[in-house]
Amino acid sequence: LESRIAVVTGASRGIGKYAALALAREGAHVIALARTQGGLEELDDEIRKDGGSATLVPLNLTDFDGIARLGAALHQRHGKLDILVGNAGIAGPSSPLGHIELKPWNDVMAINVTANFQLIRCMDPLLRVSDAVFVTSGTASKASAYQGPYAASKAALDTLARSWANETASTKLRVNLFSPGPIRTRMRASVFPGEDPMTLDTPEQAAEFIVPMCAPDWTETGKLYDYKTRTLMSFHPPA
């Protein structure tokens, strides 16, 4: 990935952090986005220790104007974007739908859906011979009880990615989804507090599988990679 520019959202912890580290180890210059400056600085220290390079962007993804400014800055500085990893997400409330207030619903949709739409809108001119990977969840199709906002937001993200993949099918842009399944993350622990985290794979293990999807020799588009089964499948299930 030498000389390739990679944007990773939610890069201060979890899958986003380890995806950023893995991409940097392969030679990409990582544009790391996260809300927490401290977490980004720790990431930068680790990337530099491995001989890589990064640009830190402390940004709340609900700052949609900030995403637009980032797109303009990348155009001015690099003139391109080779890799986009849309990883940032929030779980939202674990409650019956009738008990959920409008604000937490809107918060989940803003981060999990609208921010990714804004990334597509603002980064599309920079992405040509490039790869975009969005982190989804099996909950999108399972529609799990008491996880309505999260499930609905990931289903919307899946459809957004599918639409973009279909729109760009005749170009060299490749758009895919990555479904990590149950992973030992802080977000997972907040949703399933009684679960033994030591029974789950680590974010580092899962993130390693994102890197091949960002490589210049990756040719697939419009696919979903299921980490749990190690299977690459079409968005559309067979008839």
Enumerate the active-site residues.
150
Write the burial class of residue 42 (CB in 10 Å: 0-12 exposed, 13-18 middle, 19+ buried): middle
Residues pairing with 34 in the sheet: 58
**Gyration radius (Cα) of the chain, Å:** 17
CA 67 → CA 9, 157, 199, distances in Å? 11, 17, 37
Question: Which of 139, 140, 138, 124 shows the shortest CA–CA distance to 175?
Answer: 124
Residues pairing with 31 in the sheet: 7, 55
